Amino acid sequence: MSLYERYADGLEYAAFLDRYGSDAHKSRWQATLDAVQLTAAQTELLRSFRRQMDVLCLAGAWCGDCSSQCPIFERFAQVNPLIRVRYLDRDDHAEVQEQLRINGGNRVPVLVFFSEDGYEVARYGERTLSRYRQMMRDQLGASCPTGINIGSDPLLAQVTQDWLNEFERVQYILRLSPRLRQKHND
């Protein structure tokens, strides 16, 4: 099974939520999307991307990690239409989940980045370094977390930057690819 072929089967953000999300799930995803505020520098960086990035996201509409991160990808795609994210439901696509396991477990969200012509460029998921740092503080400290916090939560800004760093890294891989530079005469 080619993961890029599965990308073609993926759904756009709204269609994914319409198919797999309950009203409560959609509300959580929307609250995060509303809370994602890109800085002027982040927006400028995203707008500077020149290579198409096809991104497969294995997710679950029910998943807290997905509802707190996938809207970030949608915000990026809203800024630059060359970022084309497609979503697959983890439970409906067990064969994809099997290929994208992390540390032997079924984790989401997991992203696979592709070039415009279907070559895999990178994989990244399921939580960013900033999120893991927060979890270490919460779970190894005096108290455990009580739930998902969005809105003015500085963690959302940190996680957004973590994801932007990865999208930027992939864009630079694509921009510096000798094969793609030859194709695009740049």
The tens digit of pLDDT for each residue in 76-85 reads 999 999 999 9
Query: Residue 143: pLDDT above 80?
Result: no
The pLDDT value recorded for residue 85 is 98
Single pTM value for the model: 0.91
Mean pLDDT in residue range 124-137 = 90
- What single string gives the DSSP state of each residue in 10-70? -B-HHHHHHHH--HHHHHHHHHHHHH----HHHHHHHHH--S-EEEEEEE-TT-HHHHTTH
Q: What is the pLDDT of residues 47-67, one digit of tens each?
A: 999 999 999 999 999 999 999
Rounded to 10 deg, the angle between the 154-176 and 129-140 helix axes is: 150
For each of the domains in the chain, give its residue range(s) and CATH number, in order of start.
3-184 (3.40.30.10)
